[in-house]
Amino acid sequence: MPKSNTELVLENLAGFDRLDYEFVANGYAEDAVLHFMQEEPIHGRAEILAFFERQFAPINTTRIEIVNAIESGDLVMVERIDHYEWKGIPVSCPVANATEVKDGKITAWREYYDKRFAADQVIAQSKAKAEGSV
Amino acid sequence: MTHGADDETPTLDALAVHELFSGWDKEVPSVEEMRRWFADDLVFEDPLQRTEGISEYREMNERLLRKNQDLVIQMEESAQNGPHIMFTFSLELAPSKRRPNLRIYNSGMTYVRLNNEGKIEYHRDVWDLNTMFLSAAPARVRNAYRRFVKRFG
């Protein structure tokens, strides 16, 4: 039985838990578009893989907690909390993605999150570490 | 919008939620009108605030409309699974009357949950505060920020 679009997207997200960015990128179509909404969109699977490897290099561990996943035709919308360690500092950040899937491959991924939320945690914990309270 | 056994208690679906929020960038409905679609114990959360109850929720939307010029909110994609509805939106506004050419843009995702009566009991928005303010910043500031994010983000 073929996998549902939701199952494909959740499996793709599980690749981040293993820090397996090649697996994640392979889930995208050759000409897919990845758009972190506050950045310029990234076009093409090879560019997407390069972005993951560059952007997530400081991340040691990741655990993606799925809050809601809803599917409507080609569209899968997921609300999640990303827990990760950024240079050893634990961060939890609410994130949402709207993902289009065609013929078993991701063709578009739009990611929404509050970067400030993650940055505040990194700054607060770095400060606490520097002051010796953690 | 679908109706239950009793036509006085309609329930919402994804399309109806689209319809419900469209027009709030021009006029926010009264508390009485909102009671038809929202639970009295409605909770709202976004990166800036949390509100409880319809009155606080209405006041927050009214404030957004009052303090900003030319507010345009567009609902985009949506999906529903039972009582869970999600949709993406884009937003454009002019934060200053004196500088109407200064525009702020943002986009985000909304999650709403319906209660047993089919009314919205929970509404959460995910969007990026920095993006909103950066969209109004000069290009050199935006580029410097992007370089910073690339290096440390």
3-state DSSP assignment of residue A51: helix
Instruction: State the Cα–Cα distance between residues B32 and B135, nearest whole angstrom.
Output: 36
What would the pLDDT profile of B9-44 be if each residue is shown by its tens digit? 456 888 888 888 888 888 999 999 999 999 999 999
- ∠ CA(A35), CA(A19), CA(A84), 5° rounding? 80
Shortest CA distance from A79: residue in chain B: B111
Q: Which has more confidence, A40 or A119?
A: A40
For residue B42, the one-letter residue type is: L
Interface of A with B (CB under 8 A): 37-40, 54-55, 67-72, 75-77, 79, 94-96, 98, 110, 112-117
| pLDDT band, very low/low/confident/very high, at B138 (cuts 50, 70, 90) | low
CB pairs below 8 Å between A and B: how many? 83
Please answer yes or no on whether A38 and B134 come within 8 Å at the CB atom.
yes
Which residues from B are below 8 Å from A70, CB to CB?
Answer: 79-81, 84-86
> Do you know the residue count of chain B?
153
Contact between residue A37 and residue A66 where contact means Cβ atoms under 8 Å apart = no
| pLDDT band, very low/low/confident/very high, at A69 (cuts 50, 70, 90) | very high
Domain that holds residue A12: 5-130
What is the SS3 assignment for A65-133? EEEEEEEECCEEEEEEEEEEEECCEEEEEEEEEEEEEECCEEEEEEEEECHHHHHHHHHHHHHHHHCCC
- Tell me how many domains chain A contains: 1
The backbone torsions φ and ψ at residue A133, rounded to the nearest 5 degrees and listed phi first, read: -90, -5
Six token digits for residue A3:
């996998």
- Tell me how many domains chain B contains: 1
Given a cut of 80, whether residue A130 has pLDDT beyond it is no
Interface of B with A (CB under 8 A): 14, 47, 77-81, 84-88, 107-109, 111, 124, 126-131, 134, 146, 149-150, 153
| pLDDT band, very low/low/confident/very high, at B59 (cuts 50, 70, 90) | very high
Domain that holds residue B41: 2-152
- ∠ CA(B11), CA(B110), CA(A125), 5° rounding? 140
Please answer yes or no on whether B153 and A116 come within 8 Å at the CB atom.
no
- The complex's ipTM works out to 0.78
The pLDDT score that the predictor gives to residue B130 is 66
Measured between CB atoms, which of B79, B131, B149 is closest to A70? B79
Please answer yes or no on whether B77 and A77 come within 8 Å at the CB atom.
yes
* Placement of tokens 């505060």 in the chain: B129
Given a cut of 80, whether residue B112 has pLDDT beyond it is yes
Q: Give the CATH number, domain containing residue A103.
A: 3.10.450.50
Please answer yes or no on whether B131 and A115 come within 8 Å at the CB atom.
yes
Determine the average pLDDT of the residues in A38-58: 93
How far out from the chain centre does Cα B50 lie?
A: 13
From A18's Cα to the closest Cα of chain B, the distance in A is: 20
Which residues from A are below 8 Å from B80, CB to CB?
Answer: 70, 72
User: Which residues face B123 on adjacent strands?
Assistant: B44, B112
Q: Which has more confidence, B69 or A109?
A: A109
3-state DSSP assignment of residue B85: strand
Q: Give the CATH number, domain containing residue B85.
A: 3.10.450.50
Q: Which has more confidence, A69 or B22?
A: A69
